[in-house]
Every structure is written in C-alpha cells, then in structure tokens.
C-alpha cells in the first residue's frame, strides 16, 4: 500500500513539473528576450531559429526597431522578428493589418486599357491614387544623407523653378502632345549653378510640393499596383517599394539621389547604373506578386506619421537606364520617375 502511495506522489510531482515546463516553454518571446540573447553572444542562427520556433509578442514599431538595432540585433534577426509579428503573434503588429491584408486580397481591380502604371489604395475599400512624377535637380552636394540634400538651396530652388507636379490624367495619355510637352518640361528642371565642366554631379529626385494631398487615417495601408501594360518596359524587371520622403524647407519633398555625369540627362545610351548607389529611405514591406507587373504591397510594420510614397524600383541594382529617358519620363525612365505620394495623419490608427 505504502509503495503505491509513493508511486502516486512521484507521478503527481512529475506531472506538475511537466505542466510547469510546458507553461514556461509557451511564454512568448519579447524584444527584451532577443536583446538578452544577443548581449550574451548567442549565435545569430540560434536566435533566428528561436524566433521562428517559439511563440512571440514582438513590438516592431519604428522606435523599437531602432532600439533593437542599437542593442546589436542583426538585420537577419530583425527580419525574423518582423516575419513572426506578421503572423499575428506580435504586440507591434495587431490583427488589424492582417485583416486589412485579407480584405484587400479579395478586392477585384477594375480592368484598365491604360498603358500608364496604376496604384489603388485597398485599405477600407478601393480607391485609385493619382499618378505623379518626380522632378530632377542637380547639385554639387554629395548624396551622403537625405537631410543634407533637403538643406541644399540649389535643390529647393530647382524644384521651385520647375512646373508643379502634375498627375498623369487627361494631359498625360500615351501619344498625347500635351502630356509629352509637360513631361519634357518637367525633365528639363535643373539647377543652373553648376559649370558644364563639372564631370560628376548629384541628381536629386523630388516632388515639388510640401505635403501630399492624400492623407491616410491608417498606419497600416495596403495597396495594389499594376504596371503590366506599360509600353517598352519589362514587367518582371520592377517591383513596388514604399519610401519615406524628406521635407525640404517647406517647398518640396526629397525622394532620393545618386551621382552621374553632368551631361547624363541628354544621353540616349542606356548605360547609367543609377540605382546601384541610390540614396533613399526605403520602408520594409510585404509584397505579393499576383501576376507579371501586378503586386499587392503593404508596410511590414506600422508607419509613423509623415510623408511617404509608393515607387517602382528595378529588381537588379545593376539595371542600366538612359539619362534621356529618365529626364523625359519615358520607357524605363517613366517607371523610375513614377510616384504616388501619401501622408500618414498624426491621428492615424
């Protein structure tokens, strides 16, 4: 009898320990857990494996991602955390983005005969955003930071002296004389402060208005983009991206910049690898290719209030462009110059 009681007690203890261990193993990992592992010099592969295997409650807000990076968390570890959050486990990514993503996937896009790229906001319904075009400016300032370019008076003056950004609507249909004139005029906007003898200059892409007219009330917008019918462009050569814009002296917003020869804008040769060292502030996104030239895209984590844009970028950084096409926004130049700007409101949720 005593032997049976001992066996029963031991069994209960083992069962309780097992239950306690199971509860402990199911405790979600947090940002601080990752920082602790990194500071204790755990191998990156081990940290990533743990993130993928265990439940988690990660906060992937911009402020937290910056804190994690400063704490030594690697890019692969950050990407694993974001991926885990996108599965619905994280504090930083609530169920709202997942719900919106599922809803947007069910929204059918209208059939289009246009040869211009199109973008639709699919959060909370379906709304087409107007296609805009970036303008070019030249400066002697090297593209070291977006902040330095935004403070460059040569850039802002060039943006102010050009035509206002126009939407590619009635005035910019393919083979439209009005649209072609507007595009050529926009492509000719450059600063006159440089000498023609300067071998290399910085080309700056910008939007010549201080703020977007599209003000969104969600921090997790979702979009659908269609560039499958653009003439003379390989649909599989590009993908959509979201970039954060830098306001410049309340006159324009800087998109990005790169260096090139001073006469590059007049060259017809496709020999400019302008995206190989392009400066821009890209946002981490979730992008789903639904067919050649058609994507659904949304930010991987909630956006902070501010100015943003959806742009089209080459999959290969080695892709070569004609400077003349970029200046006139035609062919591959049209793809790179195309932009859809939006603003995340301060009170957005």
Q: What is the reported pLDDT for 160?
A: 78
- Strand (E) positions, 173-305? 200-207, 215-216, 223-226, 238-244, 246-248, 252-261, 270-272, 282-283, 285-291, 294-299
Question: Cα-flanking dihedrals φ and ψ of residue 268, to 5°?
Answer: -90, -15
Per-residue pLDDT tens over the stretch 212-224: 999 999 999 999 9
Residue 310 binned pLDDT confidence (cut-offs 50, 70, 90): very high
* Closest listed residue to residue 33, CA positions, set 2, 77, 76: 77
Compute the average pLDDT of residues 316-321.
Answer: 94
Question: Cα-flanking dihedrals φ and ψ of residue 127, to 5°?
Answer: -140, 125
Q: What is the reported pLDDT for 189?
A: 39
Compute the average pLDDT of residues 68-72.
Answer: 90
**What average pLDDT does the structure give for the chain?**
79
Question: What percent of the residues of the chain are helix, what percent strand, and what percent coil, each to the nearest 5?
Answer: 35, 25, 40
Higher local confidence (pLDDT), 334 or 93: 334
Q: What is the reported pLDDT for 108?
A: 66
Per-residue pLDDT tens over the stretch 245-294: 999 988 999 999 999 999 888 889 999 999 999 999 999 999 999 999 99
Q: What is the reported pLDDT for 195?
A: 42
Q: Count CA atoms closer than 13 A to 56's CA, side-chain side.
A: 28
Per-residue pLDDT for 9 more than 60?
Answer: no
Share of the chain above pLDDT 70, in %: 75
Angle, CA 59 vertex, CA 56 and CA 63 arms, to 5°:
155
Cα–Cα distance, 37 to 202 (Å, whole number): 42
Q: What is the reported pLDDT for 99?
A: 45
Higher local confidence (pLDDT), 87 or 95: 87
Per-residue pLDDT tens over the stretch 183-237: 333 333 333 444 445 479 999 999 988 999 999 999 999 999 999 999 889 989 9
Q: What is the reported pLDDT for 162?
A: 61
Per-residue pLDDT for 7 more than 80?
Answer: no
Residue 3 binned pLDDT confidence (cut-offs 50, 70, 90): low
Q: Count CB neighbours of 249 within 10 A.
A: 15
Q: What is the reported pLDDT for 183?
A: 36
Q: What is the reported pLDDT for 174?
A: 36
Q: What is the reported pLDDT for 52?
A: 84
Compute the average pLDDT of residues 74-78.
Answer: 86
Compute the average pLDDT of residues 105-131.
Answer: 83
Cα–Cα distance, 307 to 336 (Å, whole number): 19
């Amino acid at each position: 009898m005593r032997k049976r009681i001992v066996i029963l007690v031991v069994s209960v203890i083992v069962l309780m320990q097992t239950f306690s261990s199971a509860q402990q193993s199911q405790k979600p990992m947090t940002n601080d857990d990752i920082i602790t592992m990194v500071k204790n010099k755990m191998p990156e592969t081990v940290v990533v494996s743990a993130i993928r295997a265990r439940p988690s409650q990660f906060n992937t807000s911009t402020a937290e991602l910056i804190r994690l990076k400063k704490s030594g968390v690697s890019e692969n570890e950050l990407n694993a955390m974001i991926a885990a959050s996108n599965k619905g486990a994280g504090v930083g990514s609530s169920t709202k983005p997942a719900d919106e993503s599922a809803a947007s996937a069910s929204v059918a896009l209208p059939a289009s005969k246009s040869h211009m790229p199109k973008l639709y906001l699919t959060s909370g319904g379906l709304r087409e955003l107007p296609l805009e075009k970036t303008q070019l400016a030249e400066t002697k300032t090297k593209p070291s930071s977006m902040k330095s370019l935004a403070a460059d008076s040569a850039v802002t003056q060039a943006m102010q002296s050009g035509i206002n950004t126009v939407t590619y609507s009635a005035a910019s249909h393919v083979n439209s004389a009005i649209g072609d004139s507007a595009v050529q005029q926009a492509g000719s906007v450059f600063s006159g402060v440089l000498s023609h003898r300067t071998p290399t200059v910085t080309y700056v892409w910008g939007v010549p208005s201080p703020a977007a007219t599209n003000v969104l009330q969600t921090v997790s917008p979702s979009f659908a983009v269609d560039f499958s019918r653009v003439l003379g462009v390989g649909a599989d050569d590009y993908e959509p991206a979201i970039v954060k814009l830098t306001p410049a002296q309340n006159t324009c917003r800087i998109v990005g910049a790169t260096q090139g020869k001073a006469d590059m804008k007049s060259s017809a040769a496709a020999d400019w690898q302008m995206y190989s060292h392009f400066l821009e502030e890209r946002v981490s996104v979730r992008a789903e290719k639904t067919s050649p030239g058609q994507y659904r895209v949304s930010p991987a984590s909630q956006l902070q209030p501010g100015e943003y844009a959806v742009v089209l970028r080459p999959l290969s950084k080695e892709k070569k462009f004609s400077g003349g096409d970029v200046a006139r926004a035609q062919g591959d130049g049209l793809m790179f110059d195309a932009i859809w700007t939006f603003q995340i409101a301060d009170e957005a949720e």
